[in-house]
Every structure is written in C-alpha cells, then in structure tokens.
Chain A
Amino acid sequence: MAKIYVIDDESSIRRLIKMIMEEQKHEVTTFATAEEGLKVIEKEPPDLLFTDLGLPEMNGLELIKIVEERLYSFPIVVVSEITIAEAIIEAFKHGICDFITKPFTPTEIIESFEKCYMSTDTLLKKKKEVISFVEAGKNLQASKLVSRLFANFPNSPVPHYLFALLAFSWNKELAKRHLKAALALDPDYKEARELLIKIDSGDEN
C-alpha cells in the first residue's frame, strides 16, 4: 500500500483519482490547493503525488519547482487539461515522472502510478540486495550493482549511501564524501546521517 496525495482544484477530479487509487488499496489524501498540499508534504512526504498544473494561488509548476529544490524523492505525476508541448516539457525539466491529460481513463492513472512508484520501489529492492551482498562479503557483486544504480537513479541519494556502506571498511574518507553527497540530495536521509556519525565518532576514539 502506498501513500498518495492528490492536488486538484476540481473536487470531482480529486474524488475520481481517490476512488480509482483506493480501489487499488492505496491510501489517498486530497487537497484543493498547492499550499495545503505542501504543508502536509512538509510534515510527511507521500510515496507519490498527483497534481494539476492550473491551481488557484500557487500553480502546479511552482509546487513542482519547490519539491525539486527541496530534494524530495517522491515521484510526481501531472494530471492536466493543458496539452501545450512547452508546458509539458517545462514540467518534465523540473523532474516530474509522468504527464496525463484530462480526461483520463482509470487505466492511465493506474499505469502511470505503477510506472513511477515501482521505479522507486525497484531502487529499494536493489538496496536490500546490495546490503545483503556487503554483509556476505561479496564486495565485487555489490560494487557492480551500485555502479548500475548510479546510472539508473542519478538524482537519488541511495546509491551514494550504498557506496559509502561498501567503502566503509577500506576507505573511510571516500565513504564520508559519499555520505555527504547523499545528505546533500536528501537532508532527511536518516541512515546516511547515522553512518556518518558512526564514522566520525570512530575517528575520535
């Protein structure tokens, strides 16, 4: 089950997406404005966000830019009546995962969710795999996998963290550098911060 936020000023669209995604057994919270959505995102980011572009005060693109600047890692799917190529390209430039035009079919919503959410899902699975390799001492396999993750998820802090985990035993400085990179991409990345503290306190002792 994923936690999904929906921002759209039309109540019928909010309710429609909620209905479609709840049918898929996900937890859906809806907002009529970007401001309201952002407030809740700050407290608790979702696993995926559906947002309209044309919103009353802060528009969708501004919201997307803020999410991009603050380095949130959840995928964004734009759902909009706008079909102007420039607007779509602009939204993609700022890191959205997919663009759906209104009116949409339930299939379009579900497939887009699967495409965007599953990609972060894959990353988490790969992460587990790398950790199990490191624990088993299979450093070669682990480093191969991590280098592939760097290529596939260039904007994610996870590959940096995994590389630090891998380098931890033989080059603490290198590990620290990657942990800092991971934290630069996501300041709230707990595991990275804990590992960094662990290395630093190890140095003092």
Chain B
Amino acid sequence: MTMPVLNKKKSKGLYIVIFGCGRLGSGIANWLSSKGNSVVVVDRREEAFSSLSFEFTGFTIIGDATELDTLETAKVEKADVVLALTPDDNTNIMTALISKEYFEVPRVIARVYDPNNIDMFSEFGVEIICPTLLAVKEIQNTLGFIGGDEG
C-alpha cells in the first residue's frame, strides 16, 4: 500500500486529484504538492481547505464528489492519480470506480473502512486502503512481537 509511483517520474510532476480534505486528505495534499506535483483538492465544505498548509501549491475546488460535473471541473480525465478520501465509504467507492472505469485514470486509490467489499472493488483495478485492516495487521504484528505463540 505504499505509493512508489508517485515519485517515479523525475522530470515532470504528476497531476493528482484528491477528494476529501479531512486530516488524511489535507496531509497527503500538502506532502504531494511539496514534492512538485500539481494537486487538486476537492471538498464539499470550503472550511475544509483551512487544514491545507501555507506551503500548499495547488488548487482547491468546492464540489460534491458524487457529481460527474465536479469530476469534470477537476479535470479527472487528465489525472495520473486519483485519491478518494472522503469520510463516506460509498462516496469513495463511487468516485474511485468512475475515475477508473469512466475517466480511465491510471492509478486510483480509495479509502474504505468496511473491509467487506475490498475484493469486489479491487476487480475494477481500484486500490483500496482499509484503515480497519491496517490496524488489525498492526496489532497482530505488535502482539506477534510480544507474545509470539500463535500455534
């Protein structure tokens, strides 16, 4: 679940659209823009953009991720990477699937809390980050390190 591709092209920054400017979205937006990428952040609420740092070099668009119009305004069809990071699972899934299937974006990553649907949406070529599973793995690792007697 790391993102090595994002730093791969040295000569030219990528065009990245991020849906959801919460803690994760704004943090990633700040980091990606500092790496020389052209970043567009989309959120329904204008106040959300206040969490972008002063150093953020990019664009902000107020809009609903479930409206095709918003995706068009953000020029998703030209994006190298789309990140769907709103607080709502289904919104992220829909935005990610449309970006992948309809706009044919090369890399699409969605955050989904419910681990149930991961297989199904991975079939579309969307990469899923599941905080629930990550936490489970992390705890397993930690426990394994401490106790180590699984069998």
Report A's interface with B, CB cutoff 8 A.
12-13, 15-16, 19-20, 23-24, 102-108, 110
Contact = CB atoms under 8 A, between A and B. Distances in A.
B59 interface: yes
B105 to A, nearest CB: 12
A15 B78 CA distance: 21
28 contacts: A12-B57, A13-B59, A16-B38, A16-B57, A16-B58, A19-B36, A19-B57, A20-B12, A20-B36, A23-B12, A23-B13, A23-B36, A24-B11, A24-B12, A103-B40, A103-B58, A103-B61, A103-B74, A104-B75, A105-B75, A105-B78, A105-B79, A106-B13, A106-B14, A106-B38, A107-B12, A107-B15, A110-B12
Interface in B42-67: 56-59, 61
Interface of B: 11-15, 33, 36-38, 40, 56-59, 61, 74-75, 78-79
Contacts of A20: 12-13, 36, 38
Main SS of chain B's interface residues? loop
Contacts, number: 51
A104 to B, nearest CB: 7
A20 B78 CA distance: 16
